[in-house]
Amino acid sequence: MLRLIFSPRMLVAFLMGFSCGVPLLLTGSVLQAWMRREGVDLSVIGLFSLVGIPYTLKFLWSPVLDRFSPPMFGRRRGWLLLFQVLLMAAIIGLGLTSPRQAPWLVAAVAFLVTFFSASQDIVVDAYRREDLSDNELGLGSSLYVNGYRVGMLLAGSGGLILADHIPFRLVYLIMAASLLVGILTTLFCREPEVAEGTPTTFREAVVQPFAEYLQRDGALVILLFVLLYKIGDQMATTMTTPFYLDLGFTMTEIGAVAKLFGFWATVSGGLLGGVLLLRLGINRSLWIFGILQAVSTAGFSLLALVGNSLPGLAGAIAFENLTGGMGTAAYVAYMAALTNRKFTATQYALLSSLMGIPRVLASAPTGYFAQWLGWVPFFLLCSLVALPGLYLLRWVLPRYHDE
């Protein structure tokens, strides 16, 4: 087991996860904090979640990445290197904008960041599915998620702490430089073997992945479940940074407690989730972890009642991130197991795109909900929104059998 955990393949999964995790919060909580400091209206901050639309639509261009190969480094590594370089350039460009003077230019450049980030996600997900054997996939997915969290920690916690001492422009330049880790990983990792029966024409790359999936029993119900399982958690997460600021916490406190402390809870949740997945299986894990996620989201309402309390902040964040890490471990393993190796990029992109829809579309009006309802009812609402996804488990799980 230890030899597998510390193998080069698992290291690659972890480092690629890191590279994918860095960009997400640079157009999320870090950008929200920057805009709030610049005096941008709260409703506009909520609408800025729409720049994440590429995360929800990435299945539209994923067939191109299944069908064609760049002239160098192979089908997966070639695309990955291209998108990583473009992503680094876009993050640098975002740091050179001004939220107060040109908010729509900020939105345009942030959109480019999310597009190249989503494209990187497509290739990394396909690479992991093709590089790892079926019995390695659960562990590899867990390490990928933890690497992703490390990247989010650097961008979220590190970015907010740095922003209390240096201009946001320099913060974004530092975060862009951190993506060199992903570029070096791509240059030195191996290219996965091409699965037999992969698309040889563009029509096969576009039609067959969707046709093969939709012919499965209960395919539409599974897609709806993927869409709704984490919707409440994602809606709540969209507004947590403005919530902390409104309670009177400084950005250093948010970075040190809400991000840094929460990071270890998330990593622990991912590892605990991986262990429990082995013992409980995916079926029972999705039930238990999903319920815990909904309960932890309601914990923010309690924090809103308590007010500016660092122990209260630490407790709410620890519980939410612990259960969120557990839920994500089961969620990612479930989606990966559903994909066909012949169409890895397209099918996984379809599932993960649905996973990202709540973060973008359902999260867009959260600023209005928070202003209208207040923080306590808002987070209670987010908990209730999680119930439909749990309800669908009674139809989804009979179509999935743990080995």
Q: Copy the structure tokens of residue 227.
A: 């869409």
Number of domains in the chain: 1
Q: Which pLDDT value is given to residue 249?
A: 87
What does the DSSP 8-state code read for residue 203?
H
Q: How far apart are CA 130 and CA 126, in angstroms?
A: 6
The ranges of the chain with pLDDT < 70 are: 1-6, 41, 43-44, 134-135, 137-138, 195-198, 202, 258-260, 274-275, 278, 354-362, 397-403
SS3 state at 165: coil
What pLDDT score was predicted for residue 2? 58
Q: What is the pLDDT of residues 183-230, one digit of tens each?
A: 999 999 998 877 666 677 767 777 777 777 777 777 788 888 877 888
Q: What does pTM read for this prediction?
A: 0.73
305 CB neighbour count, 10 Å cutoff = 9
What CATH number is given to the structural domain containing 127?
Answer: 1.20.1250.20
Question: Of the candidates 85, 81, 51, which has an alpha carbon nearest to the alpha carbon of residue 69?
Answer: 81
Q: Which amino acid is at 134?
A: D
CA dist., res. 145 & res. 332, Å (int): 8
Determine the angle formed by the axes of helices 344-357 and 202-214, rounding to 10 degrees.
60
Other Cβ atoms within 10 Å of 133 Cβ, number:
8
For the chain, count helices (H), then strands (E). Answer: 24, 0
Helix H or strand E encompassing 146? helix 134-153
What was the pLDDT predicted at 403?
44
Measure Cα distances from 116 to 79, 90, 112, 173 in Å: 11, 8, 6, 17
Would you state the pLDDT for residue 318? 86
Q: Is 298 exposed, middle or buried (0-12, 13-18, 19+ CB in 10 A)?
A: buried
In terms of residue numbers, what domain contains 251? 2-399
Give the sign of the dihedral formed by CA 276, CA 280, CA 283, CA 287: negative
- The pLDDT assigned to 138 comes to 65
CA distance 151 to 145: 10
CA–CA separation, 33 and 20 (whole Å): 21
